[in-house]
Amino acid sequence: MDSNLQQAIEARNELLQAPHESAFRLFNGFTEGIPELTIDIYGETAVFQNYADDPGEGLRLVHTAQEIVRERLPWLRAGMMKTRNGKTLQETRGQMLFGSTADEKIKEHGVWYALDLAMNRDTSFYLDTSLLRKWLTENMHGKTVLNTFAYTGSFGVAALAGGANRVVQVDRNHRFLDLAKRSYSLNGFSVNKSDFLAQDFFPAVSRFKNSKQFFDCVILDPPFFSSTSKGKVDQEKESARLINKVRPLVNDGGYLVAINNALFVSGREYLQTLETLSKDGYLEIAELIPVPQSFVGYNVIREPITDPAPFNHSTKIAILKVRRKT
């Protein structure tokens, strides 16, 4: 434990400098040697994720890691533990280890994002897509954007920070969208209620098609599997179907951002899916966005379950250019 964690901290030394407003993965136990544990930093709060099959065994790992991290990072003011196999909502959503309250905002690439680290079993802000948010700040000036499966809206916030004219955020859960609105307020963006749709993906997409609403960029970041009365999402077997579902909503020359986070879909498999979709000439793979190395891990001891190449992680992010059929 001590050696693995100390090496991880050293590798991320540049990220640990003041003013301690950013967010990043401090330790990826899956690749850096302790698969039952990950540690993320959100501002001055450390989040310890206990992935052990036996939560009690994982708790012992967390306590040991906490001692090391607090010694090396004395500026931390709070720590939280999330137990993936916990028996109660509080255990899975997060229990304070030290400090009274967790950070409620972070700053990434000059943009503020609101947090609710105990909102659900995730942390309300995904660290693996940091470089996509950077891409959006650099490429969305003057554009209209549709963010589907928006969660807490960070992609839309990044697009607005990059000068987008309009961003529509779609997610089934209004609580997630409320957090997106807090991010807007942190950055001084106007909150137009009509641009926040608490609705299932499938009827929302149909609504845009029927009303002939098109966008310069559509972001598609679905869960790897979900099934509702409105439709099914299966990133392992049917990622092409979802891409084809939203492709008609993209203006000619616009972008479709396609993300596949299915662990058992290799990078080559996903790339082949995209290449097949591109054969008709109406899609083009413009760019692959990597996951930050701090999230992937530095001193990699354990290889991933499936080879993500040519991507660098199982979160596979592709920027597609769209030509509209006439």
Residue 263: partners with Cβ closer than 8 Å, 6 or more residues away: 224, 304, 305, 306, 314
- pLDDT for res 1: 78
- pLDDT for res 224: 77
Q: What is the pLDDT of residues 38-49, one digit of tens each?
A: 999 999 999 999
- pLDDT for res 231: 87
Spell out, as residue ranges, where the chain has pLDDT lower than 70: none
- pLDDT for res 131: 98
- CA-based R_g, the chain, Å: 20
Which amino acid, one-letter code, is at 156?
Answer: G
> Measured between alpha carbons, how far is 224 from 52 in angstroms, rounded to an integer?
22
Q: Which residue has the tokens 């008609």?
A: 248
In CATH terms, is domain 2-103 a member of 3.30.750.80? yes
> Measured between alpha carbons, how far is 312 from 41 in angstroms, rounded to an integer?
21
Architecture of domain 123-322: 3-Layer(aba) Sandwich (3.40)
CATH 3.30.750.80 domain position(s) in the chain: 2-103
pTM: 0.96
Sign for the CA dihedral angle at 186, 184, 172, 201 comes to negative
> Measured between alpha carbons, how far is 266 from 240 in angstroms, rounded to an integer?
15
- pLDDT for res 175: 97
CATH 3.40.50.150 domain position(s) in the chain: 123-322
- pLDDT for res 159: 98
